[in-house]
Amino acid sequence: MGRDIPFAWWEQFGSRKLDALVERSLRANPNIAAAQAALRQAQEYVNAQRGYFYPTVNAEFSPTRQKLAGNQGGNSPGVQGNGSVISTYQNPAGPAPYNGPVTYNMYTAQLTVGYTPDLFGANRRAVESLQAQADSLRYEMEATYITLAGNVVAAAIQEASLRAQIDATRLYIDQNAKALQILRDQMRFGYAMRLDVAAQESALAFAREQLPPLRKQLELTHDLLRALVGTTPDNPIDVQFDFADLRLPVDLPLMLPSQLIDQRPDVRAAEEQVHSASAQVGMAVAARLPQFTITGADGGVASKVNQMFSNGGPFWSVAADVTQPLFDGFTLLHKERAADQALVQAQAQYRATIVSAWQNVADTLHSITTDADSLAACDEATRAAKVSQDVTQEQYQAGYVNLLTLLSAQEAYEQSLINLVQAQSNRYGDTAALFQALGGGWWNRKDATQTALSTP
């Protein structure tokens, strides 16, 4: 009780090959890189939303060159031959089209400042929502680490089991083939019936049927291991696992339900989703309240650049704006109600995640208990079959039983070995599943934050 779970919980199985393969997968699997990038993206969105707490400052420079039409009539600027303005006078010739066109330059430079006070907390709740989403992605990333490590361990256990089953099945096939050959020899000399030979042929065919599916599963397991370490099926990983390479942990950690809720990354991610939904309700409420903005500008305008800030060129302005929605077809009201229901949904999903987590741990503990009993029973049966085979071997050597009796005892022993291998595989798998169900020790990962936020 109360034992902490290390992040590298797979080291409890005492296999350096397994440790190296898991570490390789954590470095090379693309799902890890994708989860880290998603977390960094979410954090950048948080930082971007925080920027709305500050004023926006923009610098603007706008040069223009314009030609006015010469048919304006009335007062018109006098124009020299080079097109420059010299004065404004009353055109004695009367209205257009007698006035000449005017071409001139205009330069405007200004600095504008805008600020939106967060009086009702809309931006604060927006930042809070985005931060909760980022935290949720962080826990999802930790779950990716745990799931990846668990899949590698499960695949390694599966490979060890399949190799042991294949070896036992091959011995089983050999025993049946020897028995069939003896019966055929006996049938030629009249000591056995064709029915006995047919029965043994059927037994041999059944034994051979067991081998191809095992080989298929072994190759699929190899492909899975290659995918988990981020490589393609044509690249060998040069790692083979046997039960001799693994050690079953003796002590397993248990914890209180309150610890489980705090340590399971899926539960923490669901909790952050509730947090985000709650903040979005606040955003929807703030959208129905008055919105305030303040803007200011300071600059200059002139027909020449060096005259923009001379006498008559500078200008400034300050403006405030208050907007209160009065009627929008009840759009904002329904958005607020939708946010309320999204919060209810997130809360229900959070409770469902907790229930699923408790079920997962309970199922794993039940499996450990029952599979341990099954392993003990299979071990006892294997020991008994081994004694039976040894005694039959002695009787055969003494001439008390025939070879078929000895082969039958050997077949029974080989079949009991296959059952024992499957029970061992289940027991190892249950142990790995318990480490995962209890949270996988993600809180003990040294670079939990640095790895997530660093640039690859």
As a residue count, the chain comes to 456
Task: Encode pLDDT of 347-369 as tens digits.
Answer: 999 999 999 999 999 999 999 99
Query: Stretch 68-79: mean pLDDT, rounded?
Result: 56
b/e burial code for range 98-137 (CB count within 10 A of at least 16 → b)? ebbebeeeebbbbeeeebbebebbbbbbbbbbbbbbbbbb
Task: Encode pLDDT of 378-434 as tens digits.
Answer: 999 999 999 999 999 899 888 888 878 888 888 899 889 999 999 999 999 999 999
Q: Widest CA span of the chain, in angstroms?
A: 146
What is the DSSP code (8-state) at residue 256? -
Q: Is the pTM of this model over 0.75?
A: yes
The proportion of the chain whose per-residue pLDDT surpasses 90, expressed as a percent, equals 64
Burial of 400 (0-12, 13-18, 19+ CB in 10 A): exposed
Task: Encode pLDDT of 155-172 as tens digits.
Answer: 999 999 999 999 999 988
Instruction: Quote the Cα angle for 66-71-76, to 5°.
Output: 75
> Alpha-carbon distance 109 to 299, whole Å?
5
Span of 84-98, 309-323, 353-367 with lowest mean pLDDT: 84-98
Task: Name the CA dihedral angle for 387, 390, 393, 394, rounded to a multiple of 10 degrees.
Answer: -100
Domain range annotation of the chain: 9-70+120-292+330-453
Let me know: does 427 contact 371? Beta carbons within 8 Å: yes
Q: How many CB atoms lie within 10 A of CB 406?
A: 20
Classify domain 9-70+120-292+330-453 by CATH number.
1.20.1600.10
